[in-house]
Amino acid sequence: MLLSPSILAADMTDLKSMLPVLEGQVDFLHMDVMDGHFVPTLSFGEMYTKTIAKHTSIPLDVHLMVTNPEAEVPKYFDIKPANITFHVETTAFGVRLAGEIRKQGIRAGVSLNPATSLSTLDHLLDHIDLVLIMSVEPGFYGQSFLPLALDKIRELKRRIGGRPITIEVDGGITAANIRSVLDAGADMIVAGSAVFSGGTPERIKENIAALRKA
Ligand code: DX5
Ligand code: ZN
């Protein structure tokens, strides 16, 4: 299992001391970029993401919840994140955009809201490296997992067939439901509250251990 903690749920005034706690414990850092248009919340953008990149060697997993991803995606090229994921609902030119991400040596991801059908990926599957299934409506951390995501993961896995595409799942994942998400076919798990609740380095380490054990 690949674990990608969402730093949205961390104490964002204290990430400098939080990052060393995560080094060696997690596979990616999930960066939830929200623009206040595609989702109701405004979180942070490329400036904050660049600052984080400077202070950690953990590969970044950028999740762009923004309208006009064509304008936003290139802002992340110079920090060379591992993945850049945009939402399928936000563009009619996903093949082209994924191609531009891949040209930079960055893995291209596409995300789907709970309301969005897997058929919106039909034309993209030969052009992307990752699908991010939202298991909550995006915009906030700390929401409850929507069980409809489990069938979606299973069906996505079937549609992917032999292609080397990572299935990432995001929203409401806890030690109590992570097993079912992995059993359904997820390769990579995003967790915000389940990693950062308690806030202290000890609690964060315990939380990560509990997720890995489950
Ligand atoms: C939701 C974000 C998620 C969220 C995860 O809009 O994309 O990454 O922060 O947080 P939890 O795990 O608390 O749902
Ligand atoms: Zn996210």
Which residue has 């893995």 as its token pair? Answer: 107
Closest CA to 10 of 168, 209, 144, 195: 195
ipTM over 0.95: yes
Q: What is the pLDDT of residues 44-98, one digit of tens each?
A: 999 999 999 999 999 999 999 999 999 999 999 999 999 999 999 999 999 999 9
Whether residue 109 is annotated as binding a ligand: the answer is no
Say what the pLDDT of residue 17 is. Answer: 86
Ligand lying nearest the CA atom of residue 39 = 1
**Residue 104: pLDDT above 90?**
yes
Q: How confident is the model at residue 16 (pLDDT cuts 50, 70, 90)?
A: confident
Q: Does 151 participate in catalysis according to the annotation?
A: no
Judged by DSSP in three states, 187 sits in coil
Q: Which atom of ligand 1 is nearest to the CA of 39?
A: 6
This prediction has a pTM of 0.97
Amino acid at position 129, single letter = D
Whether residue 6 is annotated as binding a ligand: the answer is yes
User: CA 16 to CA 55: how far, in whole Å?
Assistant: 7
**Residue 15: pLDDT above 90?**
no
Q: Give the chain's radius of gyration (CA, Å).
A: 16
User: CA 154 to CA 163: how far, in whole Å?
Assistant: 15
User: CA 132 to CA 146: how far, in whole Å?
Assistant: 14
Whether residue 162 is annotated as binding a ligand: the answer is no
Query: Domain count of the chain?
Result: 1
> Of the listed 35, 61, 129, 170, which one is catalytic?
170
Range of the domain at 44: 2-213
Q: Does 61 participate in catalysis according to the annotation?
A: no
> Of the listed 32, 35, 61, 129, which one is catalytic?
32
Of all protein residues, whose CA lies closest to atom 9 belonging to ligand 1? 141
Return the CATH number at 133.
3.20.20.70
Both structure tokens of 127: 């052009």
Say what the pLDDT of residue 12 is. Answer: 86
- CA triple 7-191-136, angle to 5 deg: 105
Is any atom of ligand 1 closer than 6 Å to the C-beta of 29? no
Q: What is the pLDDT of residues 132-189, one digit of tens each?
A: 999 999 999 999 999 999 999 999 999 999 999 999 999 999 999 999 999 999 999 9
Contact 205, 23 (CB under 8 A): no
